Amino acid sequence: MTAVTAPALVVVGSINLDLVVRCAALPRPGQTVTGDDLAEHGGGKGANQAVAAARLGARTTLIGRVGGDGAGQRLRAGLASEGVAVPDDLVSAEASSGTAIIAVERGGENHILLVPGANALLTPADVERHAARIRSARVLLLQLEIPTATVIAAARIAQAAGVKVLLDPAPAPTHFDPALYHVDLLSPNRSEAEALVGRALPTITDVAEAGRELMARGAGAVVITLGADGAMLCADGKTLHLPTFPVHAVDATAAGDAFKAALALRWAEGASLEDAVRFALAAGALAASRPGAQPSLPRRSEVDALLATHIASALTPT
């Protein structure tokens, strides 16, 4: 994909330094577990999704804040090296950069402790200053690791300009502002969907009902990710359960971010939501098969190759 035809995506979200500890098993409350190793990576849902989108071929801008510390400088340099444009005026000299401490067990499950830092200082005024960038995008991608008022302000700028809005409601807040439902595409994971509807969703039928309920609250369409069970698409009065791609899971930390970025990209390219979800499932599966957050994010050629292999396998007689 060339720079001329690549769709423009804008991400408004968090930028974190990830400190990743690998261990045999995640600690239980009150338990001390010895880790295998410690690694430092760029992270944050906003930054992860921006890097994922750039690697998949989008012209990507990230509107997010870092602190005036060494970590902030490294994080901005890392984003620039991935081809992600970050406005120069979004550095909070008085704050530390956001930090996530992530414990990952060998099976791929993880626990995350997040310190927002400068992410908490991203304001509606910040997105208003960069409204022209949002208006030029095909899709605006949002998450909830920044203040809710800032998320809503960015969505309203996009909606007024006819730009599609995809909201990843993660982490699920204790109070979910009703205005957040009114986006073109809402994409929680299963636990976030459970928090939004206020009940457990043990079966695929329950997930489909939750998707329809979220649409009734204002979402134009809903995609609920289900980990190894794939994803549920609810759109145009229909529900569709799509299976994932079988991989050996190593680290699920950024699988959801890879999924959301891939979903946004294919949607921006004009694909149907069904095709976009299939593409996103392939991207998420690849990310889960590798360690780290941003280091695990796949390139477009890798996703296309997995999709092609899957299609070829399905067509091969048994």
Per-residue pLDDT of the chain (318 residues; tens, 9 = 90+): 333 468 999 999 999 998 989 899 998 899 999 999 998 889 999 999 999 999 999 999 999 999 999 999 999 999 999 999 999 999 999 999 999 898 988 877 888 888 999 999 999 999 999 999 999 999 999 999 999 999 999 999 999 999 999 999 998 878 899 999 999 999 999 999 999 999 999 999 999 999 999 999 999 999 999 999 999 999 999 999 999 998 888 878 789 999 999 999 999 999 999 999 999 999 999 999 988 778 889 999 999 999 998 776 544 443
Residue 218 DSSP SS3:
coil
Q: What type of residue sits at position 252?
A: A
pLDDT for 295 equals 83
What are the residue ranges of helices labelled H in 187-238?
190-197, 204-216
pLDDT for 45 equals 93
Q: Identify any residues that bridge with 9 across adjacent strands, giving them in sequence order.
A: 60, 139
pLDDT in tens, 122-143: 999 999 999 999 999 999 999 9
pLDDT in tens, 157-167: 999 999 999 99
Q: Which domains does the chain have, with CATH numbers?
A: 8-14+45-87+122-312 (3.40.1190.20)
Task: Classify strands 110-115 and 139-142 as parallel, antiparallel or unpaired.
Answer: unpaired
Q: Distance (Å, rounded) from C-alpha 22 to C-alpha 105?
A: 6
Q: Distance (Å, rounded) from C-alpha 44 to C-alpha 41?
A: 10
For 93, the token pair is: 């000299």
pLDDT for 316 equals 46
Q: Identify any residues that bridge with 22 across adjacent strands, giving them in sequence order.
A: 37, 104
Other Cβ atoms less than 10 A from the Cβ of 38: the count is 10
pLDDT for 312 equals 60
- Looking at 18, 126, 251, 257, which residue is catalytic? 257
257 given a catalytic annotation:
yes
